[in-house]
Amino acid sequence: MLRRLKAAQTLDANVDVFKRYLPYHESDHIICQALMLYAGGSCLEDMAMLQQDQALLKILGAERTPDPTTSGDFLRRFVPRGKLESLRAGIDEVQETMWKNPKRWSWSRKRKRKPLAVLHLDGHLEQTSSTREGADFNYKGKWSYSVLVASLADGECVGLRLRGGNVRSSDGAAELLDDVLPRLLKQFETVLVLADSDYDRADLRHACEGHGCYFAFVGRETPDRPAIAEQPRVWRSFQTRAKRAAAEREAKPSFKRRKKKRNRRKRRARQRGYKELKLARQAVAETEGPGGTRIIIRRQILDVSKGKSPQREMWKEVRYRYVVTNLPSSWSAEDVIDETYKRCDQENIMAGLHTGIAAWRMPVAQLRGNAAWLEIARLAWNLGKWTAQLALPKEVTRWEWKRFRRAFVDIPAQVIRTARQLRVRVLGTHRYINEFLSAHACLQV
């Protein structure tokens, strides 16, 4: 995959942190650290795993790989101004090369822009040690970093920004959009930006509109919005995507209802008189917001009960949820809500960046050095997604990293070097051997 994308040449052309190459180039360090994370390493010391694996060195065509202490020094070289930006530009260029590959679009072999890209924004807090530069106390009082994550709906990561832990999740998101949206608009006709309520702010809306893109943010509970929601208007009944899908399954003739197990948690909560909330019904309406935006209002009627039976109190409670968007009227209110709450899948991406490739480890003391580590982790993460998009079955893009690594990375094989060839004998009883061989044939340079 890296040879196909010419990643080494692209990275060497953009990144310049060495005065002399004895013997490694910048691309050697970047690719080796990315492969270490891709193969399951979790810290710089795991670079020794690549050094001592003779079979892997034969496959890579290398005599040796950088030492763990050398790799730490390499990350610290990105502290001077402009070095980190050059690394980010190089990885972005590799990603854009991937986007130009027509095999990425299963519906067309022609190089034309895809109609819509869905971009998710969210933040992640990672507690770290007291010696880390640039960290700060978060709202929980923990010394931590805050990472701003921008990813596509298919799981591909397009931007990571490292900040101190005392900032809002949405701080710096407008600047990130100014970097990411022009890149996406080269390959897509338009972009839809999704985010939670902390991103419902004017600078982000202006950033999206300035690039001609759409946004759909979960609305804040501002002082004036409850009064707007309670104004008389036409309400339509609404059901979530999960309930609609369940209703479709139940409507099939072959459907057979399964007996549910007893809910022991609910039973114990009622015995102790805890407060219980149950969603009775939902309705949706729409009103005009400032600047020509649309405010989608979802009214939730809750059945609330509290106390021990037979003296259990019961009453109704009304709550409102908002979505602020500039999507055209061709998108119904129900469509906007469905699309907005698909952003919750980004939590799986951030969990994968933590448990799958150890992106949040922050191995050095310098802020910009750890930001460089994040960019290399982004390359490692995207390698798996690109491989799945180009050469593997479609469902592989949804797999967790643990399953992906066991299926297509940790494969028992024998590496044999002859006089003129390098042969790899793969164990034929591997579960995904057919998919692995077809992917290898597809990705051959």
SS (H, E, C) 261-296: CCCHHHHHHHHCCCCEEEEEEEEEEEEECHHHCEEE
Return the exposure string of 410-437: e unless at least 16 CB atoms fall within 10 Å of the residue's CB, then b: eeeeeeeeeeeeeeeeeeeebeeeebbe
The bridge status of strand 214-218 relative to strand 188-195 is parallel
In a 10 Å sphere around its CB, with 0-12 CB exposed, 13-18 middle and 19+ buried, how is residue 342 labelled?
middle
Q: What angle do CA 240, 244, 247 make, to 5 degrees?
A: 140
Is the C-alpha dihedral spanning 343, 348, 354, 356 positive or negative?
A: negative
Half-sphere exposure of 201 (CA within 13 A, CB side): 12
Query: Residue 124 belongs to what H/E stretch?
Result: strand 114-127
Instruction: Please work out, in degrees rounded to the nearest 5, the angle formed at the alpha carbon of residue 123 by the alpha carbons of 122 and 129.
Output: 160
- DSSP result, 289-354: -GGG-EEEEEEEEEEEEESSTTS-EEEEEEEEEEEEE---TTS-HHHHHHHHGGGGGHHHHHHHHH
Q: Which two tokens stand for residue 292?
A: 């020509």
| pLDDT score of 108 | 47
Q: How far is CA 253 from CA 51, 123, 245, 259, 391, in A?
A: 59, 44, 15, 18, 37
Residues 364 and 32: their CA atoms lie apart, in Å, by 17
Annotated domain spans of the chain = 7-218+346-396, 225-252+263-328, 405-443
Per-residue pLDDT of the chain in tens (445 residues, 90 and over written 9): 888 889 999 999 999 999 888 889 999 999 999 999 999 999 999 998 888 888 888 888 888 889 998 999 999 999 999 999 999 999 999 999 998 876 655 544 455 667 899 999 999 999 999 999 999 999 999 999 999 999 999 999 999 999 999 999 999 999 999 999 999 999 899 999 999 999 999 999 999 999 999 999 999 988 888 888 888 788 999 999 999 999 999 999 999 988 989 999 999 999 999 999 999 999 999 999 888 899 999 999 999 999 988 888 999 999 999 999 999 999 999 999 999 999 888 899 999 999 999 999 999 999 999 999 999 999 999 999 999 998 899 899 999 999 999 999 998 888 888 888 888 888 888 899 999 999 888 887 5
| pLDDT for res 107 | 43
Q: Report whether the peptide linkage leading into residue 226 is cis, meaning its omega lies within 30 degrees of zero.
A: no
What is the dotted CATH code of the domain comprising 7-218+346-396?
Answer: 3.30.420.10
Q: What pLDDT score was predicted for residue 113?
A: 66
